[in-house]
Structure 1
Amino acid sequence: MEITYERIAPLIVEAEAEGSRMFVTFQVPGTNEVVEAQATIRRSNSIQSTVTRAVKRQAAREIRRTTSRLLRQALGSGFLGRTARTIVNTSTRNNDLARGFSEEEKRNAIMEAFQQVADHFQFDDRQESWRPPAVPPAPKAMGAFEQRVHKHPIDNRYDQEVLARMLIELSEADGHMGDEERDFLESFLPAEIGGVEAFVNSPALSAIECEEVTEAVKPAIYMIARALSLIDFEADSREDDMLREFAHMLGLGETEVAELDQHARLFVLEQAIDMHTPRDLLFSYASKLGMSEDEALRAQIQLKKRQ
């Protein structure tokens, strides 16, 4: 069956372009299940060269938005106890590059995104309608970051509060929490423990408080904090110092911390790339994360293998 935009349009709950990425939410007919996918919006060859410089100028801002959004989705998928993720209002964000794409280019990206989750749907030729597949699709393969988070969900209220305070302290490492950082934190902190305001004036985390965190979730808490420090692709020695102290107070060894740092770097990189990301851009992103070109290439290959 040929996939056309008109055929999948009834399945679309939301389609939003951010920079050169299209994020799409589809609903499985007859169920409450929604699935999300993304794809790169590709320019037609005739105008590609005229926008190359604009894409590069937009890249840093786009990466921050993309990575933040997908990290919110990961945090909202259940391990923090939320029943549904909250999307931060993006109406005030600069999205000039997305507005420059044609409707045809955006629709092509939506169709490409659908191909990634097509096994969640089955088309009935006789009824000319979609329905759930007779056999549920196999769970999507996860990277090391997601595997750790799902294996040890942070569902204890005390552990959630420690994580919230840790992320807030990181966000205030420069002495000020920006509106975008505040919105990001508010988007996934469980309502039952309060928002940013509930912890923003809390004292700095102590070693005893960190020691009391459930042993099994200590690595995941540190790893999430490390990922948060990386999503803007800007090194900050103050955040690095704080993370080293957090790791020490959580009782994590140097070898384990190095492994968790790498999981966080790979997770953030994977949110900024896809199978078609050019190598010069791939290597640029990796460099900002402190990764080698070989590590970046391997990450892109592993991402392709999980599709």
Structure 2
Amino acid sequence: MVKIRQLFLAAIANFRRWRRNPQILLAFGLGFVICFLLSNKVILFAQQHDTNLQMLEPFIWTFGDANSIMLISLCLLLLFADIPNLGNEVPFLLVRMDRVTWMLGQILYMICATLLFVGFILLSGCVLSGSHTYLANLWSDTAAILGYSQLGTKIAIPAFVKVLELSFPYRCTGHIFGLMLGYSVFMSSLILYLNLWKGSYGMIGGIAFTAFGFLMKPEFLLKWLHLPQERIRIANIIFGWISPLNHATYYMHNFGYDNLPRLWVSYLFFAGGSLILFWLSMLKMKTYAFCFSGTQGK
């Protein structure tokens, strides 16, 4: 029980830094702005066509897309750029607990902070959807129009037919939330390990991780490499398996009739990758040389 209490104290110490921290405020502020800009297209479309929306649909159509997930993940770089936190309270904590417990507290903080951030994005989407929404677990007329016509493509809203036909809003939202959470924890665990290994390389690693996912998008490679159109399906399957960003994209999964990874495979991919990086961070922590600069009174 003492170890568990110490673990939570180490995690809470990180959350105390959030108070009046411009870096944290900027991360949440940018997250809200991105959510507004991306979901506003869905909301305006519903208003212009006088159709209703299921409350979760702005979140589903916005963050079921790889580009949107990539933008949100960049906000997480602001949250975890300086992880592990080596503030003034750390020497005090390390006197009262071992390094492993303190490190587990950092990991718990990252998971909880990511959960709060993704939850904030989901709540923001629900609030922004306004009064044109309902709570029933049924797709709206807006979703049907976007999915079964070319209007969604014209205004860059990724409403996919197979999502409409093989899922329902609440289940779909749960999976999108889980995939975003898995992707974000995976990225933050990479930032943590690189910061422990090479000082301030975590931010560079986070940007490179995001860029790799973007470069592995089939549409980008087809334009860049000038591949023929008939290879789109093969490229989708290959990059759907190797790209973390595609693993985080809901519609890039096997719903029963293609060779893309199933949802449980993506959850296992993120969990396995995060656990490996956390284990490497724990090993690095055992030999990590802390360097604290004290203050002297005049």
User: How high is the TM-score relative to the length of structure 1?
Assistant: 0.27
More strand by share: 1
More helix by share: 2
Q: Rg: which structure is higher?
A: 2
Relative contact order, higher structure (CA 8 A, sep 6+): 2
